[in-house]
């Protein structure tokens, strides 16, 4: 039987989707030209760009080596985010904080995005209400008002990524000091806070679970040039691809320190990972060992890594139990892995994965971004041909996954 790999060579990790989209939304807060570099060439950037264009910020993409995105804000903002654009990505909710704090009013269609379980916005609302905003839900639109927000103590029950980001941006122009407790600590939130401080905001505690924001005057931010943090999920995808093919690869522009818990678990599975100045080298064993994994907010194992982990476990030696603590419905891709011969059973938010020696190629369908990429990784370990449809999901968050894998020696093509 034909086997894909082992992969070898070098891959450069693109900028993070879950950072760049938020940085783009934050460009609403300052007039002038914001310059983002290391921007991934992914569909969601274009969707967010179109949403911003509808609100009043134009964008242009320059696919040079620096991968530059220019966002031009002429100060003529209409704080309305229409349904047709908002329903396409979850990150559109990130215009809420910037628009409300800048304009005093915002009308936003309820956000869409990946369809994995219920994704309410009650924590966003609770935080903004504590800062003086009023909310109304009318005809599928959230309408929020506050002539000027004021500082408040906001304590989250759970460290929501999106809610932390919206309260953070909103607090920048609030009168007085806002303290966000039990804030999410994902590296992409750190990137946003650093970006805001570069623009002239006054945020303390960056990277910690207590963020202290001293409000500054509206109009006092200035546009800056900022490099997007590397994408730890795309990086993990290449590590998984090397792991499943028994390969040895080097990742450039990766930040192993932002993937510490995951890399520790990969080491438990038998991978050898050597941090380097600009990334890391990965050496895979012939066959990995099974482990148990539970997803948690950062610095725990991200839910976005989980489809990759389930895929690796499906060919590892032994039995692994994977527990999902963030999105209970996020096991839909398991049926697709089963079509490839994986032995997985699910019960509520647990999956029991019994490793098999080889998967066997079959047609499968990508249900969302991360699961789609995991199916590609699974295809590398499957005998014969695996055909993946629904790849537009993968395009939302992966910058040339096929080309990058191909250059590492994978037998993969896009038709």
> Can you tell me which of 85, 108, 121, 235 binds ligand UD1, judged by CB under 6 A?
121
Distance CA 353, CA 102 (A): 49
Q: Please say which residue, 161 or 282, places its beta carbon nearer to ligand UD1.
A: 161
Q: Please say which residue, 229 or 408, places its beta carbon nearer to ligand UD1.
A: 229
Q: Please say which residue, 101 or 166, places its beta carbon nearer to ligand UD1.
A: 166
Q: DSSP letter for 44, please.
A: H
Pick the stretch among 153-161, 248-256, 314-322, 348-356 that binds ligand UD1 (CB under 6 A): 153-161
388 interacts with ligand UD1 by CB under 6 A? no
Short-list 162, 166, 161, 186, CA closest to 178: 166
Residues with Cβ within 8 Å of residue 151, at least 6 apart in sequence: 131, 171, 174, 175, 176, 177, 178, 179, 213, 215
Pick the stretch among 159-167, 258-266, 274-282, 342-350 that binds ligand UD1 (CB under 6 A): 159-167
Chain residue whose CB lies nearest ligand UD1? 162
Whether omega before 299 lies within 30 degrees of 0, making that bond cis, reads yes
Q: DSSP letter for 321, please.
A: E
120 interacts with ligand UD1 by CB under 6 A? yes
Sheet holding 293-294, edge to edge: 293-294, 319-323, 350-354, 343-347
Q: Tell me the residue length of the chain.
A: 415
Pick the stretch among 95-103, 122-130, 199-207, 309-317 that binds ligand UD1 (CB under 6 A): 122-130
x/- site string to ligand UD1, residues 295 to 334, per CB under 6 A?
-------xxx---------------------xx-------
Token representation of residue 147: 């002539």
By CB under 6 A, the count of residues binding ligand UD1 is 22
Beta strands in 174-234 (DSSP E): 177-181, 202-204, 210-214, 225-227
> Can you tell me which of 47, 80, 142, 163 binds ligand UD1, judged by CB under 6 A?
163
Q: Is 92 helix (H, G, I), strand (E, B) or coil?
A: helix
158 interacts with ligand UD1 by CB under 6 A? yes
Q: Tell me how far apart the terminal alpha carbons of the chain are, to the nearest angstrom.
A: 23
Q: Please say which residue, 355 or 372, places its beta carbon nearer to ligand UD1.
A: 372
Q: Evaluate whether 151 touches 178 at the Cβ level (below 8 Å).
A: yes
Pick the stretch among 1-9, 32-40, 155-163, 277-285 that binds ligand UD1 (CB under 6 A): 155-163
CB-based burial, 149-177: b 16+ in 10 Å, e otherwise: bbbbebebeebbbbbbbbbbbbbbbbeeb
**Residue 95, CB-side half-sphere exposure with 13 Å CA sphere:** 33
x/- site string to ligand UD1, residues 251 to 290, per CB under 6 A?
----------------------------------------
Short-list 180, 199, 167, CA closest to 98: 167
> Can you tell me which of 4, 18, 35, 386 binds ligand UD1, judged by CB under 6 A?
18
> Can you tell me which of 64, 118, 147, 286 binds ligand UD1, judged by CB under 6 A?
118
Active-site annotation holds for 304: no
| Span 178-217, contacts to ligand UD1 by CB under 6 A | 184
Q: Please say which residue, 19 or 101, places its beta carbon nearer to ligand UD1.
A: 19
> Can you tell me which of 161, 171, 334, 382 binds ligand UD1, judged by CB under 6 A?
161
Q: Please say which residue, 36 or 161, places its beta carbon nearer to ligand UD1.
A: 161
> Can you tell me which of 67, 88, 90, 226 binds ligand UD1, judged by CB under 6 A?
90
Active-site choice (31, 41, 50, 114)? 114
Distance CA 144, CA 252 (A): 43
Could you give the residue numbers annotated as active site?
114
Residues interacting with ligand UD1, by CB under 6 A?
18, 21, 90-91, 118-124, 158, 160-163, 184, 302-304, 326-327
């Amino acid at each position: 039987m034909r086997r894909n790999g082992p992969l070898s060579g070098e891959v450069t990790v693109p900028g993070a989707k879950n950072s760049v989209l938020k940085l783009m939304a934050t460009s609403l807060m300052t007039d002038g030209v914001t310059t983002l570099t290391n921007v991934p060439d992914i569909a969601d950037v274009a969707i967010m760009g179109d949403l911003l264009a509808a609100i009043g910020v134009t964008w242009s993409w320059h696919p040079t080596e620096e991968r530059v995105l220019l966002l031009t804000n002429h100060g003529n903002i209409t704080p309305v985010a229409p349904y047709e654009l908002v329903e396409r990505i979850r990150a559109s909710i990130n215009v809420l904080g910037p628009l409300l704090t800048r304009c005093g009013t915002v009308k936003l269609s309820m956000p869409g995005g990946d369809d994995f379980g219920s994704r309410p916005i009650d924590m966003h609302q609770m935080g903004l209400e504590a800062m003086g905003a009023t909310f109304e839900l009318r005809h599928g639109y959230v309408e929020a008002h506050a002539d000027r927000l004021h500082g408040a103590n906001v304590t989250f029950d759970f460290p929501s990524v999106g809610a932390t980001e919206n309260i953070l941006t909103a607090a920048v122009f609030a009168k007085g000091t806002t303290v966000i407790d039990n804030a999410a600590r994902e590296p992409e939130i750190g990137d946003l806070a650093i970006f805001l401080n570069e623009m002239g905001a006054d945020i303390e505690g960056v990277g910690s679970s207590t963020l202290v924001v001293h409000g500054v005057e509206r109009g006092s931010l200035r546009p800056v040039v900022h490099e997007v943090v590397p994408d730890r999920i795309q990086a993990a995808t290449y590590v998984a691809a090397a792991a499943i093919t028994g390969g040895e690869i080097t990742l450039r522009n990766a930040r192993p320190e932002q993937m510490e818990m995951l890399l520790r678990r990969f080491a438990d599975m038998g991978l050898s990972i050597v941090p380097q100045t600009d990334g890391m080298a990965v050496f895979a064993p012939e066959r990995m060992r099974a482990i148990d994994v539970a997803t948690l907010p950062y610095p725990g194992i991200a839910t976005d890594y989980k489809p990759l982990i389930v895929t690796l476990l499906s060919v590892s030696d032994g039995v692994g139990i994977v527990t999902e603590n963030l999105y209970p419905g996020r096991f839909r891709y398991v049926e697709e892995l089963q079509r490839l011969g994986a032995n997985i059973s699910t019960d509520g938010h647990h999956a029991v994965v019994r490793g098999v020696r080889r998967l066997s190629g079959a047609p499968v369908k990508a249900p969302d971004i991360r699961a789609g990429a995991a199916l590609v990784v699974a295809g590398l370990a499957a005998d014969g041909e695996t055909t993946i449809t629904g790849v537009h999901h993968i395009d939302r968050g992966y910058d040339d996954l096929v080309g990058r894998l191909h250059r590492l020696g994978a037998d993969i093509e896009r038709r």
